[in-house]
Amino acid sequence: MFKFIKSVWWIVKKNWYKYLLVLFFGIILAVLNLFPARIVGNLTEGIENASNTGQALTKEYLINDIFIPFVTVMVLIYGISFLKRNSQNILTTTIYYELHNKYMKSILAQDGAFFEKFQSGDLLTRALGDINTVKFSAGNRLLNIFNESLTVVVTFVAMILINPILAICCFLPLSLILVSNIILRGKVKNNWKKVREKHSIMNNVVLESITNVRTIRAYSKEEENYQKNLKYSNDAYKVELSNLKINVVFEALFKFIVAISTLICFSLGAYFYYKGYITKVSDLVKFVMYLGLFQSPLTAIGNMINNFYQSLISADRLNEIYDSKNSVVDLDNLEINSIDKIEFKNFKFHYPNDEFNSLNNINLVINKGETIGIVGKTASGKTSLVRQLVRQLPTDSNSIFINDKPIELYNKENIRKFISYVPQEHVLFSRSVIDNVRLGKDNATQEEIDLAVKMADFNKDLADLTDGYDTIVGEYGVTLSGGQKQRLGIARAFLRNSDVLVLDDSLSAVDGTTEANIIKNLKEYRNGKTNIIVCHRLSAVAHADKIIVLDEGQIVESGRHDDLMKEQGWYYEQYTAQHFKGEVEL
């Protein structure tokens, strides 16, 4: 439990006054809970005295000494309980918000290497399951275990004051609750860790199936995919069932221990009364009621300690995300007002889990206002090269320069403001067309949006959409064609109108006429700004100021279109094949 408190101490420290308020109400409740038993004891004593004296209980006694105090105490208990629960709910909601907020901030601050390590389903499981587990323990169990412990201590003291020997005899069996927790904690922790891991795998498979459902149907893989999901669901079910069995064992064991303690209380209590060690029936009645107050919190403490072992695993899984460090580090915090020059000097790069370099000896200068074409065979390193500009992955120092200074010296968020990157994947959200475009510039006017859509040659598609700009594109843009998705992404980048525009094979799904229109608009509207176009269809870069050809991560050809045609190398062969024989797959 103390390890869990240490792992969430930042929450406790931040909300200390809310914790103290709940604890304050808990202390009052612990004391108030003793009064009903005391009042019942007084009533029993009054009945006993009346029986011995042969006198009946008076109406005034029943009202003033029993009824009014009992009702007053119960109203106070209800009121304080309400205030305590309300304060605790506010605290729990705050904790949930802060856990989620920190979780999302941690994820959004990560680079590409992080997302290669953690899969989407795993991150989703941590965001939903583990955060809920930690929230409940940090907000409810942590306070409840203190309040229940306080109730146990106060009640035990009241029991000792009646008869110390009877109190100790009743407590000894109940102490086995804590002992059993200590013995079984290793098994509980290991099993819960397996539960969370299996749920992560299962959720990742489910998410993968939902995302790729159309591909699964296209290849008639429904049954195979169903069996795959069934397998991982069964794996999660088995470890979850094992965890439930452990909880059942705990629950049955605790009830058995409580039954033994109750048996000792009644048996030994009756014996003590018979022998005269307890002289008043009222004391025995109060002791029995105190025992009821004592047993319930102690059982709850045992269950909560068991749950804390599980929560510690969830807290560790969250801290693994919280403590993840971005491998793309800013060596300084310089900021720029514009990007006037980009330079790669003997640049080399390899992905975190690869042994060999994806790029080698890249030397390239891109001046402001130039249009650069990057072409080459599949997997030649084109995307790997342009991704370095937005600093998605760590690289060697002093190999990429912005305005003649190493890119590592700049604040990466500041650099990204001046670069619009349109990736190969179609990144659309389940929103309207206009909302997807407006992501490029939140405060864009309607005229600016119209111009960006026109530049991306998407304006001709608006008339075919049900609600025009207000058409919901669906999750991942499911209602749009591949070409429409690409052009919406391009429109978003045009709207942003950054110093540098990177089109990473973003014209692959459009026809030749549409491509020509986009390139024409790009030359007209982005004149004086830097454009980098990665493509397979060479007609898209024929107008470029410089074209580089990559092969196995190295620049093998470089120059303008006419220069490369004269060299009659790879570029010449591919352009000729595409121009005269139709486009072929590269």
Range list of β-strands (E), 79-130: none
For the four alpha carbons of 504, 505, 509 and 513, in that order, the dihedral sign comes to positive
Question: Which of 143, 140, 163 is closest to 151 using CA atoms?
Answer: 143
Does 134 lie in the same domain as 14? yes
DSSP result, 302-343: HHHHHHHHHHHHHHHHHHHHHTPPPSS--SS-B--S---EEE
Query: Could you tell me the CATH number of the domain that includes residue 443?
Result: 3.40.50.300
Residues 432 and 399 in one domain: no
Residue 200 lies in a domain: yes
Domains identified in the chain, total number: 3
CATH of the domain at 225: 1.20.1560.10
Token pair belonging to 509:
């799904």
Q: Which of 295, 322, 349 is the last residue of a domain?
A: 322
Nearest CA among 421, 386, 405 for reference residue 336? 405
Number of neighbours of residue 173 by Cβ within 10 angstroms: 18
CA distance 201 to 194: 11
Looking at the fold, whether 87 and 64 belong to one and the same domain comes out as yes
Q: Do both 12 and 54 map to the same domain? A: yes
458 and 342 housed in the same domain: no
pTM of the model: 0.71
User: 3-state class of 473 per DSSP?
Assistant: coil
Cβ(531)–Cβ(371) under 8 Å?
yes
Q: How many CB atoms lie within 10 A of CB 24?
A: 14
Asked whether the beta carbons of 135 and 95 are under 8 A apart, the reply is yes
In a domain, 517, yes or no: no
For residues 538 and 403, membership in a common domain is answered with: yes
In a domain, 516, yes or no: no
Q: Is residue 388 domain-shared with residue 425, that is, in the same domain?
A: no
User: In terms of domains, do 340 and 434 share one?
Assistant: no
Give the residue among 293, 52, 152, 72 at the shortest CA–CA distance from 44: 52
Q: Which structural domain range is residue 390 located in?
A: 331-418+501-507+530-586
**Which residues are paired to 554 by β-bridges?**
551
Q: Which residues contact 164 (CB under 8 A, 6 or more apart)?
A: none
249 shares a domain with 168: yes
Cα 268 from chain centroid? 54
CA distances in angstroms from 269 to 299, 481, 501, listed in the order given: 22, 81, 86
- pLDDT tens series, the chain, 586 aa: 677 778 788 888 888 888 899 889 888 888 888 888 788 777 777 777 776 676 667 778 788 888 888 899 899 989 998 998 899 889 988 998 999 999 888 888 887 778 778 888 888 888 888 888 888 888 888 888 888 788 888 888 888 888 888 888 887 877 777 777 777 777 777 777 788 788 888 888 887 887 777 778 777 888 888 888 888 888 888 888 887 777 777 777 777 887 888 888 778 888 887 777 777 777 778 888 877 777 777 777 777 777 777 788 888 888 888 888 877 777 788 888 999 999 999 999 888 777 788 899 999 999 999 999 999 988 888 988 998 888 877 777 788 999 999 998 888 888 888 999 988 877 888 888 899 889 888 888 999 999 999 998 888 888 888 888 888 887 777 778 888 888 898 999 999 989 999 998 888 888 888 888 888 999 888 888 999 999 888 888 988 999 999 998 899 999 999 999 998 899 998 988 887 655 444 4
- CA–CA dist 576, 509 (Å, integer): 21
Residue 377 lies in a domain: yes
- Last residue in a domain, options 497, 516, 549: 497
CA pseudo-torsion sign 188, 192, 198, 199? positive
Q: Is residue 519 part of a domain?
A: no
Q: 362 and 274, same structural domain?
A: no
